[in-house]
Homo-oligomer: A and B are copies of this chain.
Amino acid sequence: MKTFFDCIPCFLSQTLATLRRITDDETMHEIVLRRVLQLISEINLSQSPPAMAQEIHRIIKQMTGNADPFAQEKKEHNRFAMSLIPEIRKRYQNDPDLFVKMLRLSIAGNIIDSGIKDKITSSMVLQSIDRSMKTALEIKTVDELYNEVREANDILYLGDNAGEIVFDRLLIEQMPYEKVTYIVRGEPIINDVTIEDAREVDMLDLVDVIDNGSDAPGTILETCSHEFQERFASSDLVIAKGQGNYETLSDVNKRIFFLLQVKCPVIAKDIGFEVGSFVVKANTECR
């Protein structure tokens, strides 16, 4: 998906929100903001939004010397999501339809996106969980996913955000997880999952976890590591969480199921679901 003009104000809000996490120094805010404005004034807009965000966050990291501005809140997101697990396990222990319930929860967890909301609160996450059990999903696509997960031999599950990864784990438990590899980003970027998050939430005890070698908030194949590119090519099913993975993979010729919440009008227009929708979408053309 290309970048739309409407993404530009959003990039600047995100730049500012990131800078304010790093320092109170307004002179620094101004210097970096001016550099980012200059970058965007010359940037190639046919790139996907995560490719632009990658360039912007590289500038922020370089100019401020802070390689991981979201480190602290990622830990909080993981801790909060982990604290919900015992109650979730208890509530659904005898549920006859655990795959669909955990699928819903994994999409609920996609609300934990610091790229969209400056502050993720516990009540936002709890509301999202509540909504996930009531919202309509495209059952036909969910059934397809269920069946293909069982048929596949090599499944890549592309993670999105810290905190959300805890809900991904619950869904992966309902799959033949010995066939699943969980993918994290290669370097910290916004509150996206890295190998540290996988370790913190015990994902490493359940499945293989590899990083994609990239610092983009999505999966820009050509800038991922050679190892990841090979794994991506050889896998027979990809499950991709979140907007960033959708934005970067929606045009890729591969069997991919996208699981996400639609959190902005630009994605809504592109994907064909309203803002707030819980989406399970397969890129059927590529089957």
The chain A residues found within 8 Å of chain B, CB to CB, are: 5-6, 8-10, 12-13, 16, 26, 29-30, 33-35, 37-38, 40-42, 45
**With the chains together, A82 CA to B233 CA distance in Å?**
65
Are B37 and A41 touching (Cβ within 8 A)? yes
**With the chains together, A162 CA to B132 CA distance in Å?**
44
Q: Which residues of B contact A13 (CB under 8 A)?
A: 6, 9
CB distance from A37 to the nearest CB of B (A): 4
Asked whether A30 and B12 contact (CB < 8 A) given A37-B37, A37-B40, the answer is no
Asked whether A9 and B12 contact (CB < 8 A) given A34-B41, A34-B42, A40-B37, the answer is yes
Residue of chain B at shortest CB distance from A13:
B9
Sorted from nearest, which 10 A-B pairs have the closest CB atoms? A37-B41, A9-B9, A38-B41, A9-B12, A9-B13, A34-B41, A37-B40, A37-B37, A8-B12, A5-B16
- Name the residue among A12, A30, A33, A38 with the largest chain B CB count within 10 angstroms: A12
Copies of this chain, whole number: 2
Q: Which residues of B contact A40 (CB under 8 A)?
A: 37
Q: Which residues of B contact A38 (CB under 8 A)?
A: 37-38, 41
Majority secondary structure, A binding face: helix
Q: Which residues of B contact A37 (CB under 8 A)?
A: 8, 37-38, 40-41
Are B9 and A30 touching (Cβ within 8 A)? no
**With the chains together, A16 CA to B10 CA distance in Å?**
13
**With the chains together, A6 CA to B19 CA distance in Å?**
12
Q: Which residues of B contact A10 (CB under 8 A)?
A: 9
Residue of chain B at shortest CB distance from A12:
B9
Jot down 8 A-B pairs with beta carbons below 8 A, ordered by A: A5-B16, A5-B30, A6-B13, A8-B33, A8-B37, A9-B9, A9-B16, A30-B45
CB distance from A109 to the nearest CB of B (A): 27
Asked whether A5 and B34 contact (CB < 8 A) given A12-B12, A41-B41, the answer is no
CB distance from A234 to the nearest CB of B (A): 39
Residue of chain B at shortest CB distance from A26:
B5
Beyond A6-B13, A8-B16, A38-B41, list 16 extra A-B contacts (CB 8 Å): A5-B26, A5-B29, A5-B33, A6-B16, A8-B12, A8-B33, A8-B37, A9-B9, A9-B12, A9-B13, A30-B45, A34-B41, A35-B41, A37-B40, A38-B38, A41-B41
**With the chains together, A33 CA to B3 CA distance in Å?**
14
Q: Which residues of B contact A35 (CB under 8 A)?
A: 41
Q: Which residues of B contact A41 (CB under 8 A)?
A: 34-35, 37-38, 41
Residue of chain B at shortest CB distance from A41:
B37
